[in-house]
Amino acid sequence: MKRSPEKLSGKRILVVQILLVAAIFVLGAKSFDIQVFQAEELAKKAKNDYARLIRVKGERGEIFDRNMNKLATSTAVISITASPAKVADPVKTAAILAKTLNLDAKKLEKTLSSKRMFAWVARQVSPDQAEQVRALKLAGIYFENDSKRLYPNREVAAQVIGFTGREDTGLEGIEFKFNAALEGQSAQISFKRTRNGGILGLDKEKRASLKGKSVVLTLDKKIQYLSEQALEKTVIRHKANSGMVVVMRPETGEILSIAHYPTFNPNNIKGLNREIFRNRSVTDPFEPGSVTKVFTAATALEKGFTPRSIFFCENGSYNIGRFTVNDTRPHEWLSINKIIKYSSNIGAAKIVETVGDKALYQNLSAFGFGKKTRIECSGETSGSLLPYQNWSRIDAGAISFGQGMSVSAIQLISGISAIANKGRLMKPLLVKKILSNTGETLKINHPRTVRQVVSEETAAHVKQMMNLVVQEEGTGVNAALDGYAVCGKTGTAQKALKNGKGYSKNKYTSVFAGFAPLDDPKLAVLVVVDEPMNKYYSGEVAAPAFKTIMTESFNYLNIAPEKDRQVVAAVTKGEEH
């Protein structure tokens, strides 16, 4: 018996209704499961697909000179990133990128084969490289804004400023010494990816707040440049190995210039010998030669002698034990004034024989020799000054005229500046202040007196002696400036042999140190030239560079010539050894 169409239709409708109810029930259950039991997991998955946290490092702080000229800054560059999950062919993509960007293909392939949504491919690429990669239109490869360290003045003060590495971490100079302050802070910053993997947005304000602090130096970019130009010409003219110049304000100890030659461009250090990166004015000791005689003279004055106290100078040759001390010109009786003017080695040795080893040692130590100055630089040497108890008779004589001891350029300019500064030794000052990332002053370094080394009277007498050096028949006449009373001292030191046994007969360090004007010293300048060829006497090598630097610096600083000051225009033929 056949069923009626009406009954069959009713059953079908019932089945459909049952199926619909079952489907609605299943969907409801699934929806409930998703919304209740899997909600957290799925939300996290969605966030991982389109919103991530990335560790971002703030931009590095800047380095300024005393006039807020930028010496080191950061500039915008492009870095290349990837969304590995979006890379269709990791092997091929890695091979192409490795060739274009000079990267390790295997390492890059491993990075691109992951399922991450973000990975660095190359940091701080050149504009040409960025354009080449952009033209390839590779899936999953993107371009992000980044920053790179820039030294806008190229070689200017390179050894002082230093440089950073690939990760913007300081490796040399101030960049290294103050890395903790300059380095931007790191933080997790959220970003979102578009469907094709690009970054939708970064929290820019948060990133800006991570910028590092800035360092303001006491250097003056103009005087630094003038020093470097004069030094370069001097080293090249005399075919020397190298040279250094330090310019200081005697009254405050502020360093306006630390120049080196040869130098380098910190924007491009590839292939350079690491030796050139060193701030040798701080790290490298040298024997100062006859510049030391001003401190020997100061010792005598502190012990009650006067500038006119006389010593017999043995007609140019004097035996100390089995050693012979010579002068470049023979002299009989010389006052302390003339011992300094003519730079008599024998006269200096005779002074020490009279005042005693202990007195000289204590005075040299008080001027800061044999101890670090604690300048804000890495790798500072203390130089060498043996305790006087260990001196032999010839040691005492040699030290009196600057052999048998060693100093750094920073120590020597500080000692000379103490004479200029009425006998007060100042701590050398290189870092003026630290600024926050918003430009607020966080710390100021004020000038600091270390000690009163000698009396004001002694300092005044020694200044007058140093003025005689640049006058007619003095060893430093080539340092005289038109219209200014200059105080200076020459030093031409034989270099110690590398085996430590004796001194070279043809290798010298030429040194000139001085300040001006006599009555109110504004600048002190030290010039050191290592192993000049042909001419080696400092009056012919270092003194002219001193004159150039002082003249150009005075012009720049608008330091007017002194009234009624006669011009010295004489040239001498002799120099000390």
* pLDDT tens digit sequence for 97-145: 888 888 888 888 788 887 777 788 888 787 888 888 888 888 888 887 7
Confidence of residue 571 (pLDDT cuts 50, 70, 90): very low
**Identity of the residue numbered 260:** H
pLDDT score of 196 = 47
Higher pLDDT, 556 or 88: 556
pLDDT score of 51 = 46
44: pLDDT strictly greater than 60 = no
CA 468 to chain CA centroid, nearest Å: 35
Q: Which string of b and e fits 466-480 if b means at least 16 CB within 10 Å?
A: bbbbbbebbbbbbbb
CB 562 within 8 A of CB 519: yes
- What distance, in Å, lies between the first and last C-alpha atoms of the chain? 140
What would the mean pLDDT of 216-242 be, rounded to a whole number? 98
424: pLDDT strictly greater than 60 = yes
- Cis peptide bond upstream of 5, omega within 30: no
Percentage of the chain exceeding pLDDT 90: 64
Closest CA to 120 of 134, 107, 137: 107
Catalytic (active site) residue 417: no
9: pLDDT strictly greater than 60 = yes
pLDDT score of 411 = 98
Phi first, then psi: give them for residue 252, nearest 5 degrees.
-115, -20
pLDDT score of 417 = 98
pLDDT score of 105 = 80
Confidence of residue 94 (pLDDT cuts 50, 70, 90): confident
433: pLDDT strictly greater than 60 = yes
Determine which of 164-168, 254-258, 317-321, 443-447 has the lowest per-residue pLDDT on average: 164-168
pLDDT score of 38 = 58
Higher pLDDT, 184 or 3: 184
Confidence of residue 206 (pLDDT cuts 50, 70, 90): low
pLDDT score of 117 = 74
Mean pLDDT of the chain: 87
Higher pLDDT, 201 or 266: 266
Higher pLDDT, 143 or 425: 425
What are the distances in angstroms from CA 391 to CA 202, 357, 362, 387?
Answer: 68, 8, 13, 7
59: pLDDT strictly greater than 70 = yes
pLDDT in tens, 271-286: 898 899 999 999 999 9
Q: What is the DSSP letter of 274?
A: G
Pairing of strands 255-261, 333-335: unpaired
pLDDT in tens, 348-361: 999 999 999 999 99
What would the mean pLDDT of 506-523 be, rounded to a whole number? 96
Phi first, then psi: give them for residue 278, nearest 5 degrees.
-70, 140
pLDDT score of 5 = 58
* Active-site annotation holder among 290, 309, 343, 414: 290
Closest CA to 469 of 567, 575, 577, 342: 342
* Domain covering 221-431+445-557, topology: Beta-lactamase (3.40.710)
Among the ranges 103-117, 135-149, 176-190, 446-460, which has the highest mean pLDDT value?
Answer: 446-460
State the DSSP string of 157-171.
Answer: THHHH-EE-TTS-EE
Determine which of 133-142, 156-165, 540-549 has the lowest per-residue pLDDT on average: 133-142
Determine which of 1-15, 137-151, 483-497, 527-541 has the lowest per-residue pLDDT on average: 1-15
Confidence of residue 61 (pLDDT cuts 50, 70, 90): very high
Percentage of the chain exceeding pLDDT 70: 84
Determine which of 52-61, 81-90, 186-195, 253-262 has the lowest per-residue pLDDT on average: 186-195
Q: Distance between CA atoms of 98 and 101, rounded to whole angstroms?
A: 5
What would the mean pLDDT of 294-320 be, rounded to a whole number? 96
Confidence of residue 569 (pLDDT cuts 50, 70, 90): very low
Helices (H), 287-377: 293-302, 336-342, 345-355, 357-366
pLDDT score of 451 = 97
573: pLDDT strictly greater than 50 = no
Q: Distance between CA atoms of 115 and 108, rounded to whole angstroms?
A: 14
Joined tokens for residue 34: 């998703």
Residue appearing with tokens 């090249």? 236
Task: Work out the angle at residue 311's Cα, subtended by the Cα atoms of residues 309 and 314, and round it to the nearest 5 degrees.
Answer: 165
Q: What is the DSSP letter of 423?
A: T
CB 176 within 8 A of CB 164: no
pLDDT score of 80 = 86
527: pLDDT strictly greater than 90 = yes
pLDDT score of 29 = 59
Residues 6 or more apart in contact with residue 106 via CB below 8 angstroms: 94
Is residue 63 helix, strand or coil?
strand
What is the maximal distance between C-alpha atoms in the chain?
156
Among the ranges 5-14, 104-113, 175-184, which has the highest mean pLDDT value?
Answer: 175-184
